[in-house]
A = this chain, B = another copy of it.
Amino acid sequence: MALYRRVLLDRSPAWDTHVYSHQLAYACGVSAAQVRRDLMAIGYTGSPSTGYETECLLDSLGRFLDAPEPTPTAIAGVGQLGGALLSFLVNRHPKLGIVAAFDVNPSKTDRVLYGVRCYPMHRLHEIVDACRISVAVLAVPAKEAQAVCEKFVASGVRGILSFAPVFLRLPKHVAVERLDVTIALEKVAFLARSVSRSRRTFP
């Protein structure tokens, strides 16, 4: 899990240079055995006495998670959500830079928004091709999501992060990750209801 790296990056001052699996487990909300197994899977091995060296571990995680060179990324849809994502992501991650934005709204296109140039939709293929973009973020309305992501895939994109509340039907060689706010909220409401129920049942 990439969560380990995040936790290590803003590492607690307690972990000076070394960290034990149970500390990392506690910080990530998983079990210590899980951490050891995951770290073993990426080929890093720690010493029993001192635990894991944080610097060296971050290095191994980086080699495993990141591509050798930065991965250029694009975003489609610069509405409220797209804008929030842009301002949040720009210059945040050293290996995942947003290099282009796309929108249908002419008042948005051909300008630099949040530090990223915004292009009209019809130049999508051209730009994706020229910048060798391999990952795209979808922040467009649900009705346009399927069409836009097909354009991305046709232009060579191999990974898509979608915020649209629809299931995207794509070839198997494209990785899709969905972040569906509505469903997540329904899920939380459901879980909240059931935990409070079990609380009442077994007080």
Q: With A159-B192, A173-B196, A196-B134 as known contacts, state yes or no: A182 contacts B80, CB within 8 Å.
A: no
Residues of B within 8 A of A174 (CB): 192, 195
Distance of A137 from chain B, by nearest CB (Å): 7
* Complex alpha-carbon distance, A187 and B177, angstroms: 8
Does A7 make an interface contact (CB < 8 A)? Answer: yes
CB pair B27–A73 under 8 Å, yes or no, is: no
Give the residues from 136 to 182 in chain A that come closer than 8 angstroms, CB to CB, to chain B. Answer: 137, 157-161, 165, 167, 169, 173-177, 179-182
CB pair A183–B2 under 8 Å, yes or no, is: yes
* Complex alpha-carbon distance, A7 and B142, angstroms: 12
Does A3 make an interface contact (CB < 8 A)? Answer: yes
CB pair B192–A158 under 8 Å, yes or no, is: yes
Q: With A2-B183, A6-B165, A73-B185 as known contacts, state yes or no: A159 contacts B191, CB within 8 Å.
A: yes
Q: Which of A15-23, A87-95, A105-113 contacts B (4 or more CB under 8 A)?
A: A87-95
Residues of B within 8 A of A191 (CB): 159, 175, 177
CB pair B27–A189 under 8 Å, yes or no, is: no
Residues of B within 8 A of A71 (CB): 189, 192-193
Residues of B within 8 A of A127 (CB): none
* Complex alpha-carbon distance, A136 and B192, angstroms: 10
Residues of B within 8 A of A81 (CB): 84, 88
A-B contact pairs, 24 of them (CB 8 A): A2-B186, A6-B165, A6-B182, A7-B167, A28-B167, A66-B189, A71-B193, A80-B84, A81-B88, A88-B181, A89-B182, A89-B185, A93-B185, A93-B186, A134-B196, A135-B192, A158-B192, A159-B188, A175-B195, A176-B188, A177-B187, A177-B188, A179-B179, A179-B181
Which 6 pairs of residues, A with B, have the shortest CB-CB distance? A159-B192, A175-B191, A80-B84, A158-B192, A159-B188, A81-B84
